[in-house]
Chains A and B, each alone.
Chain A
Amino acid sequence: MKLITCEGVSKQYGTKAALSNINLSLDTGAPIALVGPNGAGKTTLFSLLCGFIHPSSGEISILGEKPGSQKLQNVVTALPQDASLDPNFTIVSQLTFFGKLQGMNGKQAKQEALRVLELVDLSASALMLPKSLSHGMSKRVSIAQALMGSPKLVLLDEPTAGLDPANAKKIRQIVKDLSATTTFVISSHNLEELEKLCDQVLYLEQGQLQQSVSMKADAETAFLTLTMQQSDIALLSDKVRSMPNIINVKVSDDEQIIIEHHFDTSFNLETALLALFSEHGWQYKAIMKGRSLEETLFSS
């Protein structure tokens, strides 16, 4: 059964179309990224998937059920944007209450609340009131509540926005660790982060699904991204073009070129590049298999 299907989904706010005719079909598995500029409709799509709002037209189905269906309770969870807990009650008491609503008894619910707080490194803040937490801590509590129970689909709307690098890394690690049993759909502006986590990327722009890109390596052709420290980029790209098995070479910026080549398992290209660097005394910063998500999405 498909994880998510959207058929001709549109959402209008008055005369403004937040989403127009979205058609997509997603399977369970590795995390899925949702990317797009501000106002592209990412949060609207998340809200529709969570059942917070209803589509103006079209059909949405999650595991065969309509969003908001009782059958999806405990199966779909989310980190909603701009949602906060009741400021007057401790974090652990509220998460325990959520656990009870999910069908756990009091003891199980409290244990589950403490487990997810431990996951996001907030055990020490369990007895604090939400109003005494920083923005980043509140975000981590909101992520914690999304991890309660054993959800099959977790929708995270900008999970690491506003988090310090250490905690952002921790959240990415949680997503990686849980990916075997849970499918995450993550909306973020941090392409580097999504690149590390996701196999599939959906690109929304002006309320329309512009691209659906797989980050998995192509069987026929492959990419190599070369970031140089000291080199003559023009000369380097000319030299690379003359190498065997090269399909295309693109100078991305002053320091970076992207090489498209026929797939080869023997590392001949990498060896040749290193020899070239040695010959000209060039220094490189990184040789990366594949293209960055930014390059994949925005290269013409």
Chain B
Amino acid sequence: MDASPRSSSLRQTWLIASYELSKRFTNTKGIAALIAFSLLWAIILLYPVQSASVYMLEPGFKELVQSIYGPDALGQLFSWKVAEFAVFWCIALYVFPMFSIFITADQFSSDKQRGSFRFLTLRVSRDSIFFGRFLGQMLIQGCLLLLTIIATILMVLTRDAGLFTDALLSGFSVFINVFIALLPYTAVMAVLSWYANSARQASIYAVILWAVSGILIMIINSQLPAMSFLSWVLPGSQLSLMINTQGLSSLMYAPIPLIQTLAVLIAGRIYMQRSAL
């Protein structure tokens, strides 16, 4: 039947992901967003991260924190070999997921609105589009995360060049952990951006989803303690527990976002397969 060579699904998925990555870094909107992101992180690194790491190196500050929160509450934070990464860790764990909601909000909505998907679905399966776009967004976020980690390492080296190896190892563990934490956020945004008519609408749905779910889970937890496992359903539920961990031990929380991602992607795939284009 085939008149011309057909591409494999994996190659198509990869092509879509890499095209997504190149789109982000080559068009005007993408470059503007990248500049804004870089400026924001430059401010975060220069002020909160650098200033806080100076305090963290002082023994008096550690004692103060331990006297307020108890000896175990934030103990792990003071055991980071590179103080800058301890602060970066706390900020990145919350800021990157928040970014994720906004920068991955247009995985599908614009293309769906202008009908561009119709050109794609004649050439690739809906699965390749769905997983390719998701992968592309993870690659974009991976690049942004890497950029901020490299900047942090450079900042550490300006203070003490001897910390190079420790900074590199800390950077690596932060990258892996934050990257995994971003997976369910990106998956949820894939589904919401397929449902929404615009990126803005998808972001609004996300805010509503997290706010309403958070409140509901809080109410359920207080009224029905037996149902407290529900709090693990919401992406980001493990973040507060991850703050006081470091290195590979933080990976003990990785199954939560990985399972959430798998569940959301399966649901998203079913939804996309059944939808009209």
Given A83-B114, A88-B29, A101-B120, is A75 in contact with B2 using a C-beta cutoff of 8 Å? yes
User: Which chain B residues lie closer than 8 Å to A65 at the CB level?
Assistant: 1
User: Among B3-11, B35-43, B146-154, B162-170, which stretch is in contact with chain A?
Assistant: B3-11
Collect the chain B residues with CB atoms within 8 Å of residue A150's CB: 3-4
Digit string of B95-119 for contact with A (CB within 8 Å is 1, else 0)? 0000000000000000100111011
Is the pair A103, B7 in contact by a Cβ cutoff of 8 Å? yes
Q: Could you mark each residue 1-36 of chain B with 1 if its beta carbon is under 8 Å from any beta carbon of chain A, else 0? A: 111111101001001100100010001110000000
B3 touches A149 (CB 8 A): yes
**B contact residues around A82 at 8 Å (CB):** 115
The reply to whether A83 and B119 contact each other, CB–CB distance below 8 Å, is yes
Most buried by A among B4, B23, B27, B125: B4
Counting CB contacts under 8 A, is A84 at the interface? yes
Any chain B CB within 8 A of the CB of A41? Answer: no
Task: Name A70's contact: one of B9, B15, B19, B29 (CB within 8 Å).
Answer: B9
- Measured CB to CB, the nearest residue on chain A to B4 is A149
Assess whether B116 is in contact with A85, with CB atoms less than 8 Å apart.
yes
Check A83–B118 contact: CB distance below 8 A.
yes
Complex CA gap A85/B123 in Å reads 15
Q: From residue 125 to 153 of chain B, which have CB atoms closer than 8 A to chain A? A: 125-126
B121 at interface, CB cutoff 8 A: yes
Contact A101 B15 (CB under 8 A): yes
In the complex the two chains form, is B121's CB within 8 Å of A84's CB? no
For residue B226, CB closer than 8 A to chain A, the reply is no
Q: Is A53 engaged at the interface, CB distance under 8 Å to the other chain? A: yes
Please count how many residues in chain B sit with their CB below 8 Å of the partner chain's CB atoms: 32
Interfacial chain B residues near A84, Cβ < 8 Å: 114-116
Check B263 for interface membership: any CB of A closer than 8 A. no
Q: Which single member of A63, A73, A104 contacts B124 (CB below 8 Å)?
A: A73
Report B-chain residues with C-beta under 8 Å of the C-beta of A102: 4-7, 123
Q: How far is the CA of A152 from the CA of B23 in the complex (A)?
A: 31
Q: Contact mask B234-277 → A, CB, 8 Å, 1/0?
A: 00000000000000000000000000000000000000001011
Cα of A83 to Cα of B120 in the assembled complex, Å: 11
Flag whether A97 is at the interface (Cβ < 8 A).
yes
Given contact pairs A52-B121, A73-B122, A77-B122, A86 touches B7 in the complex (Cβ within 8 A): no
Contact B118 A50 (CB under 8 A): yes
Q: Flag if A80 contacts B115 (CB, 8 Å).
A: yes
Q: Is A51 in contact with chain B by the CB < 8 A criterion?
A: yes
Question: Does A52 contact B7, Cβ atoms closer than 8 Å?
Answer: no
Q: At the interface, yes or no: A282 with Cβ under 8 Å from chain B?
A: no
Which A residues lie within 8 Å of B126 (CB)? 68
Q: Is A71 an interface residue (CB 8 A)?
A: yes
Given contacts A80-B115, A85-B119, 7 further A-B contacts (CB under 8 A): A71-B2, A73-B122, A73-B125, A97-B15, A98-B119, A98-B120, A101-B7
B residues lining the A interface (CB < 8 Å): 1-7, 9, 12, 15-16, 19, 23, 27-29, 111, 114-116, 118-126, 274, 276-277
Q: List 11 A-B contacts (CB under 8 A).
A: A52-B118, A52-B121, A53-B276, A68-B121, A72-B1, A73-B6, A74-B5, A78-B122, A80-B118, A102-B6, A103-B4
